[in-house]
Amino acid sequence: MFAFIQKRGVSVIANDLKKRAVIEHKGSLYKIVKLQSSHGAMRSGFIQAELRDVIKGTKLNERFRSTEKVEQVSLSQREFQYLYKEGKSLFLMNRSTYEQIEVDSSLLECEPEYLVDGSDVIVELYNDTPLSLTPKKGTLVCEVVATGEFRADTVARGTKHVQLSNGRTISAPAFINAGDKIEVRIEDETYVQRV
């Protein structure tokens, strides 16, 4: 079909970059952590990006012209089942082939307490090398173990801190009590609803 298939990825203009995309820059692979767009009065705009090296974990702040070409890397995604954690390693299993892999816990894109044994996770790979790991479902149902003092707040309609069964503490509405089951958005650890 096509004789010119690129192995690495595609060139995109910096203005089209998205958070969590992986780019090749200065000979390394970087994941975009934050993006901020700015436009000057008499000149074209620029994109300020906070990048994290996917191998070393170091951070880099870089400025791109909004029309500058950037090499965005194509990643493959595979679904695995989370088995257990041992030290700094997470053990996962491919449900179709029963192949087990070990990945470093630093690749996890959320707090480790939100991984439940047997839950599905998505692993992003570049040339069969894992780059990141995220829970397949963006929310998790947890039981409230303890509640804190009610805090009146006109903006948030009254919230209090609640401790979840996984040990994490989040803010939730005042009507949540110990023993209630609530849904928590994993990405930013916020209350979604009572279940």
Q: Are strands 169-173 and 159-164 parallel, antiparallel or unpaired?
A: antiparallel
Q: In the chain, pLDDT over 70 holds for what percent of residues?
A: 88
Model confidence pLDDT, tens digit, residues 130-154: 888 888 877 777 778 777 766 555 5
Q: Is pLDDT at 24 greater than 80 in this prediction?
A: yes
pLDDT in tens, 93-130: 998 999 999 998 888 877 777 777 888 888 988 888 88
pLDDT category at 61 given cuts 50, 70, 90 is: very high
Mean of all residue pLDDT scores within the chain: 81
- pTM of the predicted structure, to 2 decimals: 0.66
At 107, phi and psi to the nearest 5? Answer: -80, -15
Q: The tokens of 87 are what?
A: 């030290």
Q: For position 93, what pLDDT does the model report?
A: 94
- Listing from the earlier edge strand, what are the strands of the sheet with 169-173? 169-173, 159-164, 139-147, 181-185, 190-194
The string of pLDDT tens digits covering residues 33-51 is: 888 888 766 567 888 989 9
Phi, then psi, of 28 in degrees rounded to 5? -130, 165
Higher pLDDT: 72 or 153? It is 72
Average pLDDT for 1-10: 46
pLDDT at residue 92 in the model = 93
